[in-house]
Amino acid sequence: MTSPTYDVVAIGNAIVDILAQATDAFIEEIGVAKGSMQLIFSPEDADALYAKMGPGREVSGGSAGNTVAAIAAMGGKAAFIGQVADDQLGAVFAHDLRAAGVHFGTAVRPGQPTTARCLIFVTPDGQRTMNTFLGASQFLPASALDEELIASGAILYLEGYLWDPEEPRAAMRKAIDIARANGRKVA
């Protein structure tokens, strides 16, 4: 068994967080419970809600993405596997992870759906109300896996939120097999 190159290789939802200030009245107007997280199931609904947002800030996010960014910030070596689309938010996600020192090399998915996004409305009291469209992140195929990358991580970290859709679940099962065949830990 060779020494690992990465402390952690993570597989997860590749989501861009878009944060904007909002009033309590706006949260009421859009019909969302303040402080909640809800899923948005259609790109049209995500686009309509985005159009209502004030000026925002875009930053890569997602559970596993945030985890590997934190590992890199603390001096660890981390890599991320997750699906983005060939669009502006996909480029934002890739740029932010790489700028944080995380290896990200998953090929973009052409066409629809678009890159996942979490529209986050922050009220004056600091409460966050999140509206998440999972988009392309839910379509990570096993063929997108870099077997050498997975084998090079001391730990393969799998985001539980990505376990539900069939295609990413099959990809994660394949990744588990690769990690175990190379004597790596799976979390």
Q: What local confidence, expressed as pLDDT, does residue 1 receive?
A: 66
Domains and CATH numbers, the chain: 6-186 (3.40.1190.20)
From the CA atom positions of the chain, what is the Rg in Å?
A: 17
pTM of the model: 0.92
**Predicted confidence (pLDDT) per residue in 52-110, tens digit:** 998 999 999 999 999 999 999 999 999 999 999 999 999 999 999 999 999 999 989 98
Q: What local confidence, expressed as pLDDT, does residue 26 receive?
A: 95
Asked if residue 177 lies in contact with residue 145, where contact means CB atoms within 8 angstroms, the answer is no
**Predicted confidence (pLDDT) per residue in 114-158, tens digit:** 999 999 999 999 999 999 999 999 999 999 999 999 999 999 999
The sheet that has 153-158: what strands, in order across it?
A: 102-104, 78-81, 6-11, 153-158, 185-186
